[in-house]
């Protein structure tokens, strides 16, 4: 099989799509194709952490991964390999920003997680319902407004009130979040960017 | 006629840009910060220009009565965000009391009003054709006209209120480079993909848009209020885009806008969100002591000072989370440490980007007090 992961890591969009189609035509196992592309996404993440890639590169790789996923979907028939675990993700109440959240979604997904996305401006009960329904051990909260720190706080409290706090780790992220906001809200960790969110979620599993 | 204190403070702005200031210059920025402290509902503050101007002025005067506020980063005119910002980002603005709860902050909603074909239309027919088509999708044109009428009738009167309060502004103008306009109009994810897939087309569209951006920016500077203009750097931040995109599609537009300001004897204030460390030395390409980098706490100012020396003034960068949740001592420590490390010359101490709506009043005072008392 040609090195699909390398093409993805080098952001060679047209070459990758062509190569994936060729592999499918030749009867290559779609799960293997997916795994190779996941390895490419890991390489992208490493380049980002090393300061060689930037957010636009993450987005481009995410788009490529998504398109590969769409090509493979009819061939996968539910076979997607092993999941690292489930994460409930969303932007907190009062905040309608979605770009950071969506980027974390694609990086977690390509990193092997099952992600339950509850959307933007999500009320605490929406997060709690998703946690109960999925049994996810990690909750990821996105927040781009300092005025929504209390929404994080309220969500953490709602998780406590639902009796889930012992089973659920909570990570926060977004422009104005830092360790002081972790302390203020009672969350467990803060991710500086989409790639660190993946690393922290792995540690939390 | 402005009184002596106003003139002294206006001179201090010039001295700071020239690295001749004798003490650190304190600079207010907080478009949403006054409402809560002054007991005004965000809905009224954001939607009513009369309330906005009065509340903001009273808030700054309250700080200035405790410790000197030498200047404002941006002049205050009460223009509603949902009427001003759509021009800069081709995005809708959701407002408190309308789409959002009464005490919520206004928020930008990128709806992706541009499609890929619009690059061709801009290149072949000009930006105005696209702008005039999408503007009605972003705001109510009748309301916009009311806002414009209000500014024409009251702009000078409101400006005089700040002169009378001895509060000169560094900037009165505003420029959103074409990269930022297109990014908002397409929505960030789609636009960044376009930058990889069709960079030639975007580059051409930017070239077509740039003269209009320069003209609009120069027209927005009111030298009676503040002799500078922002040159915005939001989605074009070094941390967000690859060097290839930045060098080709971001920096040329920003540089051209700033150069136009300088050529016309105005101050170029690069208003930089996010982290610009990678490209900080590029600001050396501007003429010496004519521009300011205005950062938000994410750019490394120690590194910036080391590289830029006395070439470019710095405005910043007390982080928003610190103003919202920190203690006064933490704020003072931050300010003292920053001045210790990069020196008082050519330095405006200001909130990073913008003091948030939930800034503690005592933290705003602490920020300026620390700067004014620094020795």
Give the CATH number, domain containing residue B113: 3.20.20.210
CATH superfamily of A85-204: Cobalamin-binding domain (3.40.50.280)
Strands (E), chain B: 25-28, 71-74, 92-94, 107-109, 169-175, 228-233, 267-272, 291-295, 313-318, 347-351
Dihedral of CA B164/B168/B169/B173: which sign?
A: positive
Average pLDDT, chain A: 90
Confidence of residue A185 (pLDDT cuts 50, 70, 90): very high
Question: Hey, are the CB atoms on A147 and B358 less than 8 Å from each other?
Answer: yes
Q: How many CB pairs under 8 A join A and B?
A: 77
Chain A residues touching residue B245 (CB < 8 angstroms): 56
Q: What is the per-residue pLDDT across B134-152, written as a single tens digit (0 to 9) for each? A: 999 999 999 999 999 999 9
CATH class of A4-76: mainly alpha
Q: What is the per-residue pLDDT across B117-126, written as a single tens digit (0 to 9) for each? A: 999 999 999 9
Report which of A121, A108, A83 is spatially closest to residue A191, judged by C-alpha positions.
Answer: A108
Report which of B357, B282, B256, B271 is spatially closest to residue B314, judged by C-alpha positions.
Answer: B271
Q: What is the per-residue pLDDT across B37-83, written as a single tens digit (0 to 9) for each? A: 999 999 999 999 999 999 999 999 999 999 999 999 999 999 999 99
Note the pLDDT of residue A196. 87
Cα(B295)–Cα(B313) distance, rounded to whole angstroms? 11
SS3 B75: coil
Q: What is the per-residue pLDDT across B317-368, written as a single tens digit (0 to 9) for each? A: 999 999 999 999 999 999 999 999 999 999 999 999 899 999 999 999 999 9
CB of A52 within 8 Å of any CB in chain B? Answer: no
What's the half-sphere exposure (Cβ side, CA atoms, 13 Å) at B118? 23
Question: Hey, are the CB atoms on A97 and B320 less than 8 Å from each other?
Answer: no
Structure tokens at B246: 């930045």
CB of A182 within 8 Å of any CB in chain B? Answer: no
A195 touches A107 (CB < 8 A): yes
SS3 percent helix, strand, coil of chain B, rounded to 5, is: 55, 15, 30
Phi then psi dihedrals of residue A69, to 5 deg:
-60, -40
Does B50 map to a domain? no
Cα(A95)–Cα(A121) distance, rounded to whole angstroms? 5
Q: Tell me how many domains chain B contains.
A: 1
Chain A residues touching residue B358 (CB < 8 angstroms): 146-147, 149
- From B265's Cα to the closest Cα of chain A, the distance in A is 35
Predicted complex: ipTM over 0.90:
no
Chain A residues touching residue B197 (CB < 8 angstroms): 13
Domain extent for B201: 4-28+62-75+105-125+155-373
Q: Does the pLDDT value for residue A1 go beyond 80?
A: no
Confidence of residue A2 (pLDDT cuts 50, 70, 90): low
B67 CA to centre of own chain: 23
Indicate the domain borders of chain A: 4-76, 85-204
Question: Hey, are the CB atoms on A99 and B188 less than 8 Å from each other?
Answer: yes
SS3 B81: helix
Q: What is the per-residue pLDDT across B295-313, written as a single tens digit (0 to 9) for each? A: 999 999 999 999 999 999 9
Q: Which residue of B has its CA nearest to A101?
A: B189
Structure tokens at A19: 């190569």
Cα(A59)–Cα(A41) distance, rounded to whole angstroms? 11
What's the half-sphere exposure (Cβ side, CA atoms, 13 Å) at B346? 24
A46 CA to centre of own chain: 15
Note the pLDDT of residue A77. 66
Q: Does the pLDDT value for residue B227 go beyond 90?
A: yes
Average pLDDT over residues B195-201: 96
Does B150 map to a domain? no
Confidence of residue A55 (pLDDT cuts 50, 70, 90): confident
């Amino acid at each position: 099989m040609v090195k699909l992961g390398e093409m993805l890591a080098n952001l060679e969009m047209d070459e990758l799509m062509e190569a994936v189609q060729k592999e499918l035509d030749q009867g290559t196992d779609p799960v293997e194709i997916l795994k190779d592309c996941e390895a490419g996404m890991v390489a992208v993440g490493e380049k980002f952490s090393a300061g060689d890639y930037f957010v636009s590169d993450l987005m481009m790789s995410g788009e490529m991964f998504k398109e590969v996923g769409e090509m493979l979907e009819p061939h996968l028939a539910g076979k997607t390999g092993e999941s690292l675990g489930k994460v409930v993700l969303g932007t907190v109440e009062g905040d309608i920003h979605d770009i950071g959240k969506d980027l974390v979604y694609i990086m977690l997904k390509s990193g092997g997680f099952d992600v339950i996305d509850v959307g933007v401006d999500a009320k605490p009960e929406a997060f709690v319902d998703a946690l109960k329904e999925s049994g996810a051990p990690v909750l990821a909260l996105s927040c781009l407004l300092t005025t929504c720190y209390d929404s994080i706080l309220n969500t953490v409290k709602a998780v406590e009130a639902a009796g889930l706090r012992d089973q659920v780790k909570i990570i926060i992220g977004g422009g104005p979040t830092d360790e002081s906001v972790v302390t203020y809200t009672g969350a467990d960790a803060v991710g500086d960017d989409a790639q660190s969110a993946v690393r922290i979620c792995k540690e939390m599993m | 006629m402005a009184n002596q204190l106003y003139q002294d403070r206006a001179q201090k702005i010039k001295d700071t840009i020239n690295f001749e200031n004798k003490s650190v210059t304190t600079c207010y920025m907080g478009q949403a910060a006054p409402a809560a402290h002054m007991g005004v509902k965000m809905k009224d503050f954001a939607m009513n220009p009369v309330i906005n101007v009065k509340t903001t002025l009273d808030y700054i005067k309250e700080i200035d009565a405790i410790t000197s506020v030498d200047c404002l980063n941006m002049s205050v005119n009460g223009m509603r965000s949902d009427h001003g910002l759509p021009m800069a980002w081709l995005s809708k603005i959701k407002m408190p009391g309308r789409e959002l709860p009464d005490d919520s902050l206004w928020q930008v909603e990128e709806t992706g009003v541009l499609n890929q074909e619009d690059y061709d239309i801009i290149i072949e027919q000009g930006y105005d054709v696209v702008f005039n088509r999408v503007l009605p999708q972003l705001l109510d044109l009748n309301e916009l006209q009311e806002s414009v009428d209000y500014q024409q009738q009251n702009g000078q009167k409101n400006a005089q209120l700040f002169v009378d309060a001895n509060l000169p502004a560094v900037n009165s103008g505003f420029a959103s480079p074409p990269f930022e306009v297109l990014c908002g109009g397409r929505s960030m994810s789609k636009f960044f993909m376009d930058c990889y897939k069709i960079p030639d087309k975007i580059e051409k569209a930017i070239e077509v848009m740039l003269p209009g951006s320069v003209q609009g920016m120069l027209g927005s500077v009111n030298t009676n209020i503040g002799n500078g203009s922002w040159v915005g750097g939001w989605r074009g931040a070094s941390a967000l885009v690859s060097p290839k995109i930045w060098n080709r599609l971001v920096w040329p537009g920003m540089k051209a806008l700033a150069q136009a300001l300088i050529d016309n004897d105005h101050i170029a204030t690069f208003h930089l969100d996010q982290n610009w460390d990678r490209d900080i030395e590029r600001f050396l390409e501007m003429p010496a002591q004519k521009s300011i980098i205005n950062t938000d706490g994410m750019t490394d100012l120690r590194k910036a000072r080391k590289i830029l020396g006395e070439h470019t003034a710095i405005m910043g960068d007390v982080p928003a989370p610190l103003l919202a949740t920190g203690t006064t001592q933490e704020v003072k420590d931050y300010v003292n440490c920053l001045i210790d490390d990069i020196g008082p010359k050519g330095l405006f101490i200001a909130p990073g980007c913008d003091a948030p709506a939930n800034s503690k009043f005592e933290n705003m005072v602490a920020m300026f007090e620390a700067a004014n008392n620094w020795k």
